[in-house]
Amino acid sequence: MIPFFYKKHLLISVLPMQNNESNLNNLMSAYSTISEYYIRTKRKPWKDFKEYLLKISNLIDLSKKHLICDVGGGNGRNLLLFQEYKSQFILCDLSFKLLKNSVLLLNSANHLVNLEMTSLPFRKESYDLVLSIAAIHHLNNQTDVICAFTEIKKILQKNGFFILSVWYKWKKDTRLKMILDLILFPIKKLFNSNWRFGDYYLPWKNSEGLVIAKRYYHLFSRRELVKLIRKTDFKIVDISLLGGKSGKDNIFVLLQNN
C-alpha cells in the first residue's frame, strides 16, 4: 500500500507492483495514454447517469447524506451529483493519472484509492451506497465480473444500494458490429478461447483523428447481465435501458443488498 497526498486528499495505491494479467495491463496503459484528453473533456457528470438518478428518485433517497464508494469512477465527475447532500466519498479507479486529476470534490473527508475492482480492501458493510458506472464492462471474463459483484456486496451495508451501468449490446452504434461478431464468433473462438460474444475494442482518437489507444469493452445483453447478478444474490430493484443517441444505449441497474 503506497500513500500519497493530492489536493489535500489521501491517495492510496493498493495495486500490485507487478501484474501479469494482460487485459488489466492493457487497460491501465490505455487510460494512461488518454488521461490528458479524458480529463480535459470529461469534467461534468455523465448526463445519462444523471437521468437515471432522476428516474429512481422514488426508489432510493439520494438527498440524504451517504457514505459512497465509487468503483471504477475515473476522475470522480459523477460524484459531483452528490456534493450538495454533504455525502462522503471514496473514489476508486485503476488509473492513477485519472485519480491524480480528479474533479474538485469539496468535502474534505474524500479519499482516492488506486485499485482493481476485483479486490476491494475495505471493511465489510462499510458503505450504504456503491456506484460502478460504465466500469464493469471493462472486465474481460465472467469470473471477474462475478468477483467484482461479490466484492461490492461484501462492502455494502445491509439494505444498502448498488447502482450499476454497462453498455448495451444491441445499441444502434454497435448493432452491426454485434451481428458480425455473432456470425464470426466460432472463428474468433478458435483463435482466442477466451473471446465472448460482445467483446469489443474501442479506439480513442486524438484531436487530429489518430487512434492513440484501444480500450476493451464487453457489451451486455439484459439477460446476460441479470444472469450474472443473480449469482451474487443481489435484489434487482430496477433495470432500465437508457441514454445515448437512441435513448436505450446503456443498461442501468439499481440493486439492493439483501
Tens-digit pLDDT profile for the chain (258 aa)?
444 434 446 778 877 655 546 777 888 889 889 888 888 889 999 999 999 999 999 999 998 889 999 999 999 999 999 988 888 899 999 999 999 888 877 655 578 999 999 999 999 999 999 999 999 999 999 999 999 999 999 999 999 999 999 999 999 888 998 999 889 888 888 888 888 999 989 999 888 889 999 999 999 999 999 999 999 999 999 999 999 999 999 999 999 998
112 by DSSP, 3-state: which?
strand
* Cell numbers 478458435: residue: 190
CA dihedral 148, 255, 65, 126 (to 10 degrees): -40
- Which residue ranges make up each domain of the chain? 2-56+67-257
What would the CATH number be for the domain defined by 2-56+67-257? 3.40.50.150
Query: Would you state the pLDDT for residue 8?
Result: 46
Number of other residues whose CB lies within 10 A of the CB of residue 183: 9
The model's pTM = 0.91
From CA 223, how far away is CA 98, in angstroms rounded? 32
- E-state strands within the chain: 2-6, 9-13, 67-71, 88-93, 111-114, 127-133, 156-167, 199-205, 211-218, 234-243, 247-257
Largest CA distance in the chain: 53
